[in-house]
Amino acid sequence: MADEPLIQRVNQAIAEGAARDQLDERVTDPIEGGLINSQSDRLYPIRGGIPTLIVDEAIGLAGIGEGE
């Protein structure tokens, strides 16, 4: 499960137009939470209390991580 600081960084990247999904499409809808894959390079967004577990819709975490 993503912690609050990561969720804030992801939402900031979404607001800045920098968040991309696995098809390199810009993510436009903010998230309320997320599930992180075992390699910690993708976040499966939670919106409306429902996780999206479709690989293509996972948000890439490269460039969004701590201190980046």
d(CA 6, CA 59): 12
Q: DSSP 3-state helix, strand, coil percentages of the chain (rounded to 5)?
A: 25, 25, 50
Rounded distance between C-alpha atoms, residue 26 and residue 24, angstroms: 7
Question: Residue 68 has what pLDDT?
Answer: 42
pTM of the model: 0.89
Q: Where are the domains of the chain?
A: 4-60
- Sequence-distant (≥ 6) Cβ neighbours of residue 16 within 8 angstroms: none
Residue 54 confidence (pLDDT):
96
Looking at residue 63, its pLDDT comes to 84
Measured in degrees and rounded to the nearest 5, phi and psi for residue 7 equal -60, -40
